[in-house]
Amino acid sequence: MSYLEFGAIPLQVNPDLQEERDQASFHVTELTHIIDGGAEKTQLRKRLEKLIYSDPDFRRFPDVRTFGTKSEFYGASVLKSIKLFQLRKEHQWTDEESDIVHSLVDHGHALGLHHAMFIPALERLATDEQKAKWLTIAKQYKILGTYAQTELGHGTYLQGLETTATYDPGTQEFILNTPTISAMKWWPGSLGKSSNYAIVLATLITRGKRHGMHPFVVQLRSLEDHQPLPGIKVGEIGAKMGTLSTDNGYLILNNIRILRENMLMKNAQVSPDGTFTASAPNQANYATMVLLRVRISEFAYTNISKAVTIGIRYSAVRRQSKLDPEEKEAKILEYQTQQYKLFPGLALAYAILFSTKLLKKKYREAQTEIMKGNLQSLPELHCETSGSKAFCTEHMLKEVEIIRQSCGGHGYLAASGIGMMTSSSAPLVTVEGENTVMYLQVARYLLKRFSNAKSGEQIEGCTSYLSMNHAPYLCPFLSEKDCRNLSSLCDVYRYRAFIVISRVVRTVQTDIKDGLPQHDAFNKNLVHLVRAARAHCYFNVVKDFAEAVKELDASIQICTVLISLCCFFAVHGIVENSGDFLQTQTIGVEQLKWLKNLQTSLLAEIRPNAVALVDAFDYHDITLTSALGSYDGNAYERLYQSTEKDSMNSQEVHSSYHTYLKPFIQEMNKAKL
């Protein structure tokens, strides 16, 4: 074969990858149906996939993302948003169908916040009259909105927001201002160049008194020529590590007057004379953020499942060195060290999948009550979504980077798809609440619930274990075989969480008793409080995964594989955090030795089904956007083909040669003479 033919991609699947599929112990389609939520959901996704990818624009977006400039990518992202809006309207997609489509074409698109936050905020925070005015035209795309909360100087500390909305009873208007440089809105997606409206979160001031954060509908740009309105300065915040499809923006407000009715008044009202009335706690305004944290957990699943699909498929076709001197070079997936890099991410993907399915169900049930005015479930929901967001994104980002490294030098190429996935995953640990802050909010809830349990209250929900009788505790691992028992593994995680929480509670209480102010006692123990929150979150994810596997209505082959994967997820977590488990006397040194042995044994058990487990995610090649992870496994041919799309290769001699290099070489040659 001549070098000119190297770029031709074979029509057949790489034999090494096909060999992996042939040895799977279960039917991939059955597991795909479980992941999607049933065969009907899989068929729905396939129909939507076919519709979307029949459009050449959607087929070319991945290339623009990989090889285009920031401006080109943003332009394509705007086009993608518009096409999605048009298709949603044309086909009358439900929210579920729209979510499926967005996951197919990458969650990042220029006007994504319109459906992700602007419309949900109107649905949750507006009165019926306001919905009739704003929600209708928003759903008809007559206005395009975003959600402006974060400021240059304040993010997760909402009480510190400096943007003000001062009521003027003489004109029955609110006057909005960002009075300092740190008060300007900074980071909201779709704000810089795309949106013409925003729901602005500002501190309400009426009759000289502050009433906390409230939402206001503010027009930013002209509906005629898209120019910013008088008194408004808005723009893009600049280059970022990733998420180039979104125009994260800044917003400066200078005496912007809006009608009284532009304050979303479902939970609080300001009358024409300026009287403030709260019909629900101010925390009710956080409902939109709670929803977004559920979605961020889902994004974490998407990113880790894509990354591990690429990593495992590539490892099945990449051969390097010899295990047996008499045989050909081995697939790198055969090496135990490679499995140890990849399989934690594989197990994490399934753990997040099942945990977020349960979380989304809880959210829907709670939201039904919240919309009726019953906020009883909101504190628990806030704890669970904050913890899930922090845990899922933290662990996802770690594993995605490990998977990128597992692909060697090729993983650094944009065409691999993983490098860009790493940079697009990074913001998730800070967006909508930096993870340390999220863990501390979980910790505050744990302290309160622990106190309730100690006073005799029967605790329910995700913290129900705090009211259980944990003494005397006996490690359930009496032999190495016991370490495989999912119930026993859950018990170990439960007890670890209980001990870590109880110890930090006693420490904080002792510090307060010794004379430290409560805020100082809390600050003195922040590291331990985060540790307690992490232990709680890890327990709940392990429990969710284990319970989901136990309740599966599936073939014995799939149940067997998922039990092994769940067991590996739990065992790997104990080994990685062994100091915590030993310190809390949840396990002993002998049990840790058993668990380490089991961990490596499980690598070998998972190995034959590794490719089938990622195939079950069923990502279309266009969705995956990876030369290394394509379904056919022809990684080298696709890498070489990708070079043809790079603008650097559009001409044999780059212009810099004539401008700089040629004169330099000529000068050097003259110098020799």
Helices (H), ranges, 23-164: 28-36, 39-53, 56-67, 70-91, 95-104, 112-113, 119-125, 128-130, 136-139
For residue 51, being part of any structural domain is answered with no
Beta strands at 173-177 and 185-186: parallel, antiparallel or unpaired? unpaired
Burial, 473: exposed, middle or buried (Cβ in 10 Å; 0-12, 13-18, 19+)? Answer: middle
Res 266: pLDDT: 93
Among the residue ranges 7-11, 186-190, 461-465, the one predicted with the least confidence is 7-11
Tally of structural domains, the chain: 2
What's the first-to-final CA gap in the chain, in angstroms? 45
Residues 196-242 have pLDDT tens digits of 999 999 999 999 999 999 999 999 999 999 999 999 999 999 888 87
Q: Tell me the residue type at 203.
A: T
Does one domain contain both 368 and 500?
yes
For residue 40, being part of any structural domain is answered with no
For residue 535, being part of any structural domain is answered with yes
Q: Tell me the residue type at 509.
A: Q
Q: Which pLDDT band, with edges at 50, 70 and 90, does 343 fall under?
A: very high
Average pLDDT, the chain: 92
Q: What is the mean pLDDT of residues 244-253?
A: 91
Does one domain contain both 380 and 528?
yes
In angstroms, the CA 198 to CA 167 distance is 19
Q: What CATH number does residue 549 fall under?
A: 1.20.140.10
Is 189 labelled as part of a ligand binding site? yes
Is 417 labelled as part of a ligand binding site? no
Q: Which pLDDT band, with edges at 50, 70 and 90, does 458 fall under?
A: confident
* Cβ atoms within 10 Å, residue 239: 7
Does one domain contain both 316 and 452?
yes
Q: What CATH number does residue 193 fall under?
A: 2.40.110.10
- Region of 596 please: left (phi>0), alpha (psi -120 to 50) or beta: alpha
Q: Which of 460, 423, 606, 617 is nearest to 35 (CA)?
A: 617
Known active-site residue 432: yes
For residue 419, being part of any structural domain is answered with yes
Does one domain contain both 499 and 526?
yes
* 107: pLDDT strictly greater than 60: no
Residues 404-424 have pLDDT tens digits of 999 999 999 999 999 888 888
The rounded Cα 49 to chain-centroid distance in angstroms is 22
Does one domain contain both 596 and 497?
yes
Q: What is the mean pLDDT of residues 317-337?
A: 92
Does one domain contain both 269 and 339?
no
Q: What is the mean pLDDT of residues 518-538?
A: 97
In angstroms, the CA 303 to CA 435 distance is 17
Does one domain contain both 158 and 200?
yes
Among the residue ranges 74-88, 177-191, 206-220, 346-360, the one predicted with the least confidence is 74-88
* 108: pLDDT strictly greater than 70: no
Does one domain contain both 274 and 297?
no
Q: Which pLDDT band, with edges at 50, 70 and 90, does 673 fall under?
A: low
* 529: pLDDT strictly greater than 60: yes
Structural domain boundaries enclosing 145: 116-280
For residue 67, being part of any structural domain is answered with no
For residue 647, being part of any structural domain is answered with no
For residue 184, being part of any structural domain is answered with yes
For residue 414, being part of any structural domain is answered with yes
Q: Is the sign of the CA dihedral 564, 566, 570, 572 positive or negative?
A: positive
Q: Which of 312, 310, 306 is nearest to 334 (CA)?
A: 312
Domain end, chosen from 280, 315, 341, is at 280
Does one domain contain both 291 and 271?
no
Q: Which pLDDT band, with edges at 50, 70 and 90, does 672 fall under?
A: low
Contact predicate 229/87, CB 8 Å? no
Does one domain contain both 296 and 401?
yes
Does one domain contain both 515 and 410?
yes
DSSP of 629-673, one letter per residue? S-TT--HHHHHHHHGGGSGGGSSSS-HHIIIIIHHHHHHHHHHH-
Percent pLDDT > 70 in the chain is 97
Q: Tell me the residue type at 249.
A: G
Contact predicate 95/655, CB 8 Å? no
Is the bond preceding 472 in cis, omega lying within 30 degrees of 0? Answer: yes
* 477: pLDDT strictly greater than 50: yes
Domain end, chosen from 224, 255, 280, is at 280
Does one domain contain both 127 and 267?
yes
Domain end, chosen from 280, 314, 330, is at 280
Q: Tell me the residue type at 585.
A: Q
Q: Write down the catalytic residue from 20, 173, 401, 432.
A: 432
* 95: pLDDT strictly greater than 90: no
**Max Cα-Cα span within the chain:** 96
Contact predicate 483/598, CB 8 Å? yes
In angstroms, the CA 171 to CA 336 distance is 72
